[in-house]
């Protein structure tokens, strides 16, 4: 249980938690951008926001993960190439190869392995954030529309500008409507992490499969049969516990946000106090 | 080879009709469109059956969770918790292992190790758990007046459930349930990807897409094709569910009918 | 004095940059799940025949090499898009692969593929045969009369034979022999199948310089017998050069 390989498994657990911790706010930011764009007065921006939501939500996340990371990687390198090597005369696509000048490579070809791993991790975070950002955008878009019109009109009557209304009324009010959707999204996000290995990040499922697989005595000091069952059982328990903890925490946040809101639950809280 | 010939050869390849061998070289766009489309048959098969059967189970589980009987309630709660709390990926893995050992006990279970039946079972239970949670939420928010009115009319037991509670529950749950259906269709892509083996190169859309990505070494053509198919499928699902939605709400004045897109709560 | 150190440091830096210009570090991509060719040892590091060959080749070609693992399914797309520079993953040289990437000289003789099964009465031409998807063996089974059962990893293909899902599994001889030796219930059945043209390093087509370096290194290992020694050590039943 303490071989180097097992250490990798424990590390990957940390990786997954870190990924969740970084992805959640990033996806929320993407969602916020998407929702604001979809509500925008400017038609191209509005179309962009709506297309983003529609397309990403319509595509299964695996299909997205399978080609998107490479596309993203090549996209970045292409941009850097354009900026850093303006006088490069060879074509970027030579047959099947994708070639940019050496200094445009991401990370640089001679960077140590950990830089590559961090970069791969960052790409995974970005991909997750783009996918889940679309869902978050959808939730926030709905939540913004669910804020009672009367409140916005009142704010207008007080002479607030559109920006002030957004900042002081709409956004603070919207969270309580968005939270049920967002907490669901968080649950989905947790359960999407087994797909991380598709993005080139060696996650807990990867290592469980690797460790649990049959080991013949020639290649290891700890031979054993097909133990994947037990490693996966461990994963199952991990995911169930994680879900339970999330549920409890989210319920607390919801109770906190509900305070003083014009919703049924808020009404119930008021009555309980009175 | 013309495109029409390709379609004739491969349109039903995923269920075993037509050309036995998959294309091996000189891949055309037409082949990719046809085969990936052919694979969609499986995605629709899994999605549709799981949706229909899962719907019935979900109703029962939701009623169970709302029941007075603590045994029934606990059982339903645990069922929902386990299937909603763990990744589908791991569920597939465990189901495959379980079905294999069942097969060892009795040949009666052997069809379960094939994706056709085994994966379907997992998807049914999975969607049942998610839908049950949605339905349970809807049951909790049925206006008190509705049930009181049913009591006043002297309805009880089955007819009270069938004529008042159930339709109201569906109406309240429908927008969230639509989202669940979309997710279900998307998760059908996991079937051959995790756990269940593909027999004789009969697989779903993702299977063929990765086949082409593998052979052409270019992921930028097949996966976007797959994505396109799924966007169309999603639009169809939204359309059909929208029709049912307006039927469920036909007694309401048109401006009070909930529109599906405006109720994003409780997405999976 | 200080200036001098700085200057020499700068000199070292520029030298380093010049190296970086063309492959300062060569990244070797492998699967890590195909013993004895490549697998992860107890410490979680890449080990096996290809680990030793690769390290020796890099030493001879005077390259600094680094090992990375990647899923088999996306191992070629990631090479052509530049995420690593060389595939060293027991990849047989085939025409379809050769259209997309370049191969070095082979560093093993063509390794026949074999079937292993739980009983010796298995019909390898008409039964249910497991193979890893995307391999030459999978293509072979699909075009033979047998029913192909595809799995994502080599491990699962063997597991399928153990639990009776498949009658036999077809894969490289060296891999399956190591499995059959460890498990008394599995045995080799049928005849050897000759597929592919030996295992080579996969290199981007545009990377001719790197290919030349590795070709020279492989040739020198063949010449002085070190390659044969490694083959005998890791792949006991394989033919040497």
> What pLDDT does C4 receive?
41
> What pLDDT does C17 receive?
38
> What pLDDT does C3 receive?
42
Task: Tell me: pLDDT of B46 over 90.
Answer: yes
Question: Is there a domain that residue C2 lies in?
Answer: no
Write the CA distances from A272 to A151, A249, A250, A269, integer angstroms: 25, 21, 21, 5
Question: Is there a domain that residue C144 lies in?
Answer: yes
pLDDT 10s digits, A132-151: 898 889 888 888 887 788 88
Strands C147-151, B198-199: pairing is: antiparallel
Total count of domains within chain B: 1
> What pLDDT does A262 receive?
66
Question: Is there a domain that residue B24 lies in?
Answer: no
> What pLDDT does B263 receive?
41
> What pLDDT does C11 receive?
38
For chain C, how are helix, strand and coil distributed in percent, rounded to 5?
A: 40, 20, 35
What is the dihedral sign for C-alpha C113, C117, C120, C122? negative
Say which of B85, B227, B263 has its CB closest to residue A63: B227
The H-assigned helical ranges of B66-119 are 70-85, 88-105
ipTM above 0.90, yes or no: no
Highest averaged pLDDT of the listed ranges A173-182, A264-273, C9-18, C44-53: C44-53
Question: Is there a domain that residue B162 lies in?
Answer: yes
Question: Is there a domain that residue B12 lies in?
Answer: no
Question: Is there a domain that residue B19 lies in?
Answer: no
pLDDT mean over C4-22: 39
- Higher pLDDT: A262 or C87? It is C87
> What pLDDT does A143 receive?
83
A243 and B84 within 8 Å at the Cβ level: the answer is yes
> What pLDDT does A245 receive?
93
Highest averaged pLDDT of the listed ranges A104-113, B76-85, C90-99: B76-85
Cα gap B91→B194, rounded to integer Å = 10
Task: Tell me: pLDDT of B221 over 60.
Answer: yes
Question: Is there a domain that residue B66 lies in?
Answer: yes
C149 and B198 within 8 Å at the Cβ level: the answer is yes
> What pLDDT does B265 receive?
37
Q: Does A96 touch chain B (CB under 8 A)?
A: yes
Q: Is C186 in the same domain as C208?
A: no
A239 and B90 within 8 Å at the Cβ level: the answer is yes
CA distance B46 to chain A (A): 15
> What pLDDT does A172 receive?
81
pLDDT 10s digits, A212-222: 776 666 666 66
Beta carbons of C115 and C184 less than 8 angstroms apart:
no
Report the share of chain A in percent with pLDDT over 90.
8
Contacts with A, B 4-63, CB within 8 Å:
none
Q: Is C130 in the same domain as C93?
A: no
pLDDT 10s digits, B73-91: 999 999 999 998 888 888 9
Beta carbons of C203 and C101 less than 8 angstroms apart:
yes
> What pLDDT does B77 receive?
93
> What pLDDT does A110 receive?
63
Write the CA distances from A3 to A53, C34, C67, C213, integer angstroms: 45, 20, 20, 36
Taking contacts as CB-CB distances below 8 angstroms, the residues of chain C near B218 are 77
pLDDT mean over C98-126: 85
Nearest Cα neighbor of C114 from C40, C58, C178, C184 is C178
- Higher pLDDT: A267 or A187? It is A187
Cα gap B120→B112, rounded to integer Å = 9
Structure tokens at B175: 């927008």
> What pLDDT does C12 receive?
39
Structure tokens at A222: 């700890």
A67 and B224 within 8 Å at the Cβ level: the answer is yes
Cα gap B86→C133, rounded to integer Å = 27
Q: Is C103 in the same domain as C202?
A: yes
pTM value is 0.81
Measured CB to CB, residues of chain C less than 8 Å from chain B are 73-74, 76-77, 80, 96-97, 100-101, 128, 130, 133-134, 139, 142-143, 147-152, 156, 160, 163-165
The least confident of A98-102, A186-190, A239-243, B13-17 is A98-102
Total count of domains within chain C: 2
Nearest Cα neighbor of B177 from B79, B268, B85 is B268
Say which of A57, A61, A239 has its CB closest to residue B85: A239
Cα gap C241→C228, rounded to integer Å = 6
pLDDT mean over B105-129: 85
pLDDT 10s digits, A22-50: 999 999 999 999 988 988 888 899 899 88
Superfamily of domain A4-205: MetI-like (1.10.3720.10)
pLDDT mean over C169-178: 86
**B–C interface: beta-carbon pairs under 8 A:** 52
pLDDT 10s digits, A62-78: 888 888 888 888 888 88
Mean pLDDT of chain C: 82
- Higher pLDDT: C224 or A70? It is C224
> What pLDDT does B266 receive?
36
Structural domain spans, chain A: 4-205
| CATH number of the CATH domain containing B249 | 1.10.3720.10
> What pLDDT does B1 receive?
61
| CATH number of the CATH domain containing C34 | 3.40.190.10
Question: Is there a domain that residue B36 lies in?
Answer: yes
Range of the domain at C29: 25-109+198-234
Taking contacts as CB-CB distances below 8 angstroms, the residues of chain A near C177 are none
Structure tokens at B50: 């799981």
pLDDT mean over A7-26: 86
Range of the domain at B132: 31-262
Q: Using the structure block, give the residue that is written with the tokens 């709400």.
A: B249
Question: Is there a domain that residue C209 lies in?
Answer: yes
Beta carbons of C61 and C217 less than 8 angstroms apart:
yes
Among B217, B218, B220, the strongest candidate for a mutation testing the C interface, having the largest count of C CBs within 10 A, is B217
Q: Does C162 touch chain A (CB under 8 A)?
A: yes
Question: Is there a domain that residue C180 lies in?
Answer: yes
Q: Is C165 in the same domain as C202?
A: no
pLDDT mean over A1-15: 76
């Amino acid at each position: 249980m303490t071989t180097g390989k097992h250490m990798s498994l424990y590390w990957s657990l940390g990786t997954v938690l870190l990924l969740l911790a970084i992805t959640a706010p990033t996806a929320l930011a993407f969602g916020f951008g998407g929702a604001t764009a979809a509500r925008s007065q400017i038609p191209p921006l509005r179309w962009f926001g709506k297309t983003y939501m529609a397309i990403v939500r319509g595509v299964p996340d695996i299909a997205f993960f399978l080609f998107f990371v490479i596309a993203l990687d090549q996209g970045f390198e292409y941009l850097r190439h354009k900026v850093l090597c303006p006088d490069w005369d060879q074509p970027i696509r030579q047959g099947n190869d994708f070639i940019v000048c050496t200094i445009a490579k991401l990370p640089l070809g001679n960077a140590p392995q950990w830089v590559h791993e961090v970069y791969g991790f960052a790409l995974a975070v970005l991909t997750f954030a783009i996918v889940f950002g679309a869902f978050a955008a959808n939730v926030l878009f709905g939540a913004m529309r669910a804020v009672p019109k009367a409140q916005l009109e009142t704010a207008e009557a007080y002479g607030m500008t559109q920006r002030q209304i957004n900042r002081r009324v709409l956004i603070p009010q919207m969270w309580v409507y968005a939270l049920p959707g967002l907490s669901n999204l968080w649950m989905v996000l947790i359960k999407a992490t087994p797909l991380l290995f598709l993005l080139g990040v060696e996650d807990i499922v990867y290592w469980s499969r690797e460790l649990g697989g049959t080991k013949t005595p020639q290649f290891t000091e700890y031979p054993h049969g097909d133990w994947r069952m037990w490693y996966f059982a461990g994963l199952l328990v991990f995911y169930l516990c994680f879900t339970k903890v999330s549920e409890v925490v989210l319920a607390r946040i919801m109770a906190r946000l509900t305070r003083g809101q014009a919703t049924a639950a808020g009404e119930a809280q008021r009555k309980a106090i009175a | 080879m013309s495109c029409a010939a390709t379609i004739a050869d491969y349109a039903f390849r995923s269920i075993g009709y037509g050309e036995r061998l998959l294309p091996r070289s000189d891949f055309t766009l037409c082949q990719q469109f046809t085969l990936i489309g052919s694979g969609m048959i499986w995605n629709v098969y899994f999605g549709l059956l799981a949706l229909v059967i899962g719907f019935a189970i979900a109703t029962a589980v939701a009623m169970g969770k709302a029941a007075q009987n603590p045994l029934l309630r606990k059982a339903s709660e645990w069922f929902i918790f386990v299937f909603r709390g763990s990744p589908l990926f791991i569920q597939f893995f465990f189901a495959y292992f379980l079905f294999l050992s069942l097969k060892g006990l009795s040949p009666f279970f052997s069809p379960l190790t094939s994706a056709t039946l085994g994966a379907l079972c997992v998807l049914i239970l999975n969607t049942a758990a998610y839908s049950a949670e949605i339905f349970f939420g809807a049951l909790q928010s049925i206006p008190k007046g509705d049930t009181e009115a049913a009591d006043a009319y002297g309805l009880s037991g089955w007819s009270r459930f069938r004529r008042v509670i159930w339709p109201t529950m569906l109406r309240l749950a429908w927008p969230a349930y639509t989202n669940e259906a979309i997710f279900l269709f998307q998760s059908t892509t996991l079937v051959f990807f995790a756990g269940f083996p593909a027999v004789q190169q009969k697989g779903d859309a993702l299977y063929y897409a990765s086949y082409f990505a593998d052979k052409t070494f270019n992921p930028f053509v097949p996966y976007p094709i797959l994505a396109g198919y799924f966007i169309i499928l999603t639009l169809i699902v939204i359309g059909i569910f929208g029709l049912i939605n307006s039927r469920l709400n036909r007694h309401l004045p048109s401006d009070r009918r909930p529109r599906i897109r405006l109720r994003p709560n409780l997405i999976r | 004095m200080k200036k001098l150190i700085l200057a020499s440091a700068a000199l070292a830096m520029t030298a380093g940059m010049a190296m970086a210009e063309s492959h300062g570090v060569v990244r070797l991509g492998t699967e890590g799940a195909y013993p004895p060719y490549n697998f992860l040892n107890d410490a979680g590091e890449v080990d096996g025949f290809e680990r030793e060959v690769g390290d020796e080749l890099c030493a001879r070609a005077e390259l600094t090499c680094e090992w990375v693992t990647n899923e088999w399914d996306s191992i070629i797309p990631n090479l052509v898009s530049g995420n690593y520079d060389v595939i060293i993953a027991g990849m047989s040289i085939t025409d379809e692969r050769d259209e997309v990437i370049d191969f070095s000289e082979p560093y093993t003789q063509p390794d026949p593929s074999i079937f292993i099964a739980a009983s010796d009465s298995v019909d390898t031409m008409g039964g249910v045969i497991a193979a890893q998807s995307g391999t030459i063996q999978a293509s072979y089974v699909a075009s033979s009369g047998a029913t192909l059962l595809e799995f994502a990893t080599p491990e699962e293909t063997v597991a399928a034979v153990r639990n009776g899902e498949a009658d036999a599994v077809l894969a490289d001889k060296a891999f399956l022999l190591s499995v059959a030796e460890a498990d008394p219930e599995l045995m080799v059945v049928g005849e050897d199948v000759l597929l592919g043209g030996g295992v080579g390093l996969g290199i981007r087509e545009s990377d001719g310089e790197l290919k030349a370096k590795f070709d020279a290194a492989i040739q020198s290992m063949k010449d002085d017998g070190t390659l044969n020694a490694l083959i005998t050590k890791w792949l006991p039943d394989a033919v040497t050069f």
